[in-house]
Structure 1
Amino acid sequence: MLKEQILDDVKAAMKAKQKSRLGTLRLITAAIKQREVDERTELDDIQVLAILEKMIKQRRDSIKQYESAGRQELAEQEKSEIAIIETYMPAGLSDDEILVMVDNAIAETNASGMQHMGKVMGLLKPQMQGRADMGKVSGLVKQKLAG
């Protein structure tokens, strides 16, 4: 499981005295534990990937803000955290793979218009979690259903 891998990596980073890596890994484990406490449940890999995806998105937003404010050192720290978090993400899907999956989901749900958007996205999200930008996928589904 992904969560156990992260916990093992925390121990390895402690032993190797990798301060920056350890800091990022602790942020990840804190986010996982927080969600587990809030929901009183044990998270599976898909839920952990959703947390990691959210953390990456937050850091990308921070990078834009730091760069526009001329705070390059803070932007670099965020970039290094993204690099560490991304090591736990599955390989990304190519644009062609995403198109095929969207077309298959539309066919499988017999979607014929925007009213079926939720059905299609509900089918795609578990398949694509952590492997594609769901905002872009959503835009693509809208485009396909509207056209």
Structure 2
Amino acid sequence: MGSDMDMRDRIAAALKQAMKDKQAERLSTLRLINAAIKDRDIASRGTGEEGGVGDAEVLAILGKMAKQRQESARAYEEGGRLDLAERERAEIGVIEEFLPRQLSDKEVAKAIDGAIAEIGADSIRDMGKVMGVLKSKYTGQMDFGSVGPMVKDRLSA
């Protein structure tokens, strides 16, 4: 069970360090991350999950937070509010420290091939299974929103 706490421990340690170093902006981002995890813990308590959400869920939360900020930063840039865009990007930087390295397009394509081969998927009906394999191996390393259509293309070819 020790490794389940890994992500939370890393975030908690970073939070303590940011407090010590008086890094106000970093601290506020880490607090937001913690709050998002706690919200998910509370939500999952209803489903009887013990000890809160695990690493995979934490990664999913972080991925979502980074994506929201990327969208905000883009909107701010288009609106000429570069100061606000900068702030969003700084938050993304903090969030991404806890995310595994993002796979390149080439690596994503290879992962999709691997997942298709692994379950012998040969039609669009297998899409859910392929996505399941990818999610179990690459959570936090790829954007499943854009991977879905890629898998669909491969299976309908």
* TM-score bucket of the superposed structures, by smaller chain: over 0.9
- Listed as ranges, the gaps of 5+ residues in structure 2 are 1-5
Are 1:66 and 2:98 an aligned pair? no
User: What secondary structure is seen at the aligned counterpart in 1 of 2:53?
Assistant: coil
Are 1:7 and 2:12 an aligned pair? yes
Matches within 5 A, 1:1-147: 1-40=6-45, 41=49, 42-147=52-157
Alpha-carbon distance in structure 1 between the residues aligned to 2:96 and 2:35 = 17
Deviation at residue 35 of structure 1 after TM alignment = 0.3
Q: Does the aligned pair in 1 maintain the 2:99–2:141 contact within 8 Å?
A: yes
What is the aligned residue count? 147
Q: Letter of the 1:6 partner, please give it.
A: I
Deviation at residue 139 of structure 1 after TM alignment = 2.2
Alpha-carbon distance in structure 1 between the residues aligned to 2:150 and 2:12 = 36
- Listed as ranges, the gaps of 5+ residues in structure 1 are none
Deviation at residue 135 of structure 1 after TM alignment = 2.2
Q: CA RMSD in A?
A: 1.2
Q: Does the aligned pair in 1 maintain the 2:44–2:53 contact within 8 Å?
A: no
TM-score, normalised with respect to structure 1? 0.94
Alpha-carbon distance in structure 1 between the residues aligned to 2:110 and 2:72 = 33
Deviation at residue 93 of structure 1 after TM alignment = 2.0
Alpha-carbon distance in structure 2 between the residues aligned to 1:54 and 1:133 = 9
| CA gap 1:16/1:50 in 2 versus in 1, 3 angstroms | same
Q: Letter of the 2:16 partner, please give it.
A: K
